[in-house]
Amino acid sequence: MLTFDASRVGNALNSASVTQTQPPPTSSIEDKPAAPAVTYPDTRESVSSLAQQLSNAAARAEAQNAGLDFAGLAEKAKRVNEQLLRASNKALQDAEIPNTDDPQLLDRARKATDFENGIGRNPFKGLSREQLSLITNDESGSFTINERRAAWSEAHDQEEAWRRKVFQAADEEFHTTGKQTVFFSELLAHYQSLPALEKAQYPENYASTLQQRIRFESAEQASYTKDDKDNLFSKIEDFFEDGSLTGQANQIDTEPTKAPSNKKSADTPPTD
């Protein structure tokens, strides 16, 4: 059973609560006229508000996910994906505002709506995958749909950046050693680092399949046939797509009346 990792969330919240501004230095010369006050962007309240929202979201997630097994987490992840990615009433979503008088929360919700309409920067850019998952999967109403979509988009962008880097390394490894040991080890480490609800979108046997691939690639007798070599990178793409945020989005786009499946098995090692 997958459980909610409170320690990882704690670390994520600590990073969100660090103040992003520093006060101007004070002059050490007493008889020198004081310099004019310098105005800094007031990010303290904004970061503090987000940290509190994340803390509340983490507490809700811990309570809601505590009794869910892998299948239950997968079902929740599927429901959230459908909420956020399927076509809906865009005008209604864009008009949604948080139920608060906090100007920081109202401003961030507006920025998320602007971002979803191709205007401005994603207000959640740079947050960790754990933090983004808390926002994306929070169904309490604390975050608007557009905020949750913006958080999903940032997680997706981070996934794509990681994918490009790892795919290039995989190509270099294969042409240098003829194997993919490091590549599949990277995939396993990445999978194990994901938040619980993202892990649940992969096949339940994903980790064990990767471990099997690593053992195969590490074996001295491991070799690829010509067909295996020709198809290697199309098979690697399957590992990327299977359960990833990109794969989930693609499935929803191409299957408008069918929910994404979490039952698909990962690829198996080639045989001699």
* Higher per-residue pLDDT: 22 or 218: 218
* pLDDT > 70? residue 75: yes
Amino acid at site 236 = I
List the domain boundaries for the chain.
158-254
Backbone angles phi, psi at 28, to 5 degrees: -90, -5
* pLDDT > 60? residue 134: yes
Q: How far is CA 1 from the centre of its chain?
A: 21
> Which are the contacts of 235, defined by CB distance < 8 A and separation ≥ 6?
267
pLDDT of residue 87: 63
Q: What percent of the chain has pLDDT over 90?
A: 44
Where in 66-212 does DSSP place strands (E)?
A: none
The segment with the largest mean pLDDT, out of 16-25, 36-45, 66-75, 85-94, is 66-75
Backbone angles phi, psi at 65, to 5 degrees: -90, -10
> Which are the contacts of 87, defined by CB distance < 8 A and separation ≥ 6?
none
pLDDT of residue 8: 47
